[in-house]
């Protein structure tokens, strides 16, 4: 059969340890000090993905939209913690806002894609919904983390101009409009760039996976087009929402800048 998956046996999987040995060899030869992290990372990859494989097998048999929604909500929660946790310019950011932005962008775009475009039977079919929502989340998580970080960074470096606008009677929104624009732009640029070069520089992971799995490349490409566009939309919505929710945090109730914006980064 030409169009079918070639399964990887246990023995074949074990051969991939060879790859780890090569990487480890480079690391110890150059004394990069990465050997321990590399081994630990490799072990985690094996264990986490094996467990996810079992979990997905189980989840794919579930026939309850409510439960699938719960799983997606948990995914959004984990993503929002990650997005707001790794932003050096934003100390102590409440991840509730990131959660709200991710929930909204993921559900809006995810539902359009699953219900309207792919429309599996039933429409909440977890085999489709979970990977699609997961891809949206993974990308918008990075997008909102970048734009959140940029918003705070911009506000800090432009605090004198923002205050000058305030002295002319500007509302907080009028005073930070420029920084908000920069922040949304920064969050969207990686996604826009990937729209430009997709298929030219690299084949996206999902498409590669489908082709290796035996799918017709022309079919795989159709899926990939939908995926690229949905990611771009989700990132745009997520960045806009989060930045729109967060800019007010830079100001106090009187509409002047919070002291932390005026101080050096700690």
Q: Mention every residue, 6+ apart, whose C-beta is less than 8 A from residue 211.
A: 203, 217, 220
With tokens 């891809």, the residue in question is 135
Minimal distance, residue 244 CB to another protein, in Å: 18
Q: Whole-number minimum distance, CB 7 to another protein, in Å?
A: 59
Least gap, CB of 223 to another protein (angstroms): 43
List residues binding another protein (CB under 8 A). 160-161, 163-171, 174, 252, 254-257, 259
CB nearer to another protein: give 92 or 169: 169
What does the chain come to in residues?
266
**Residue 2 or 254 with smaller CB distance to another protein:** 254
- Minimum Å gap between C-beta 124 and another protein is 46
The rounded distance, in Å, linking the Cα atoms of 226 and 228 is 6
Nearest Cα residue to 83 out of 95, 65, 66, 92: 95
Q: How far is the CB of 119 from another protein (least distance, A)?
A: 46
**162 versus 221: smaller Cβ distance to another protein:** 162
Which residue's CB is nearer to another protein, number 172 or number 238? 172
**Contact (Cβ atoms closer than 8 angstroms) between residue 245 and residue 100:** yes
DSSP states of 185-236 = HHHHHHHHHHHHHBTTTB--HHHHHHHHTT--HHHHHHHHHHHHHHHHHHHH
Give whichever of 163 and 223 is closer to another protein, judged by the CB atom. 163
């Amino acid at each position: 059969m030409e169009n079918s998956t070639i399964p990887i046996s246990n023995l074949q999987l074990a051969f991939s340890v060879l790859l780890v040995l090569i990487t480890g060899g480079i690391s110890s030869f150059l004394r990069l000090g990465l050997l321990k992290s590399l081994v630990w990372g490799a072990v985690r990859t094996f264990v986490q993905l094996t467990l996810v494989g079992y979990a997905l097998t189980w989840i794919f048999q579930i026939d309850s939209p409510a439960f699938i929604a719960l799983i997606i909500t948990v995914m959004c929660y984990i993503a929002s913690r990650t997005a707001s946790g790794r932003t050096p310019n934003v100390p102590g950011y409440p991840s509730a806002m990131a959660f709200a932005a991710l929930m909204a962008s993921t559900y809006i775009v995810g539902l359009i894609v699953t219900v309207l475009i792919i429309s599996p039977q039933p429409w909440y079919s977890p085999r489709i919904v979970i990977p699609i929502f997961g891809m949206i989340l993974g990308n918008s998580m990075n997008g909102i983390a970048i734009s959140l970080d940029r918003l705070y960074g911009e506000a800090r470096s432009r605090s004198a101009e923002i205050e000058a606008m305030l002295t002319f009677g500007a509302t907080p929104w009028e005073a930070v409009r420029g920084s908000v624009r920069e922040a949304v732009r920064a969050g969207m640029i990686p996604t826009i760039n990937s729209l430009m070069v997709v298929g030219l520089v690299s084949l996206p992971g999902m498409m590669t996976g489908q082709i290796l799995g035996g799918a017709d490349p022309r079919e795989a490409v159709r899926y990939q087009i939908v995926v690229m566009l949905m990611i771009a939309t989700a990132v745009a919505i997520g960045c806009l929402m989060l930045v729109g929710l967060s800019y007010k945090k830079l100001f106090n109730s009187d509409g002047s800048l919070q002291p932390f914006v005026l101080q050096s980064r700690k």
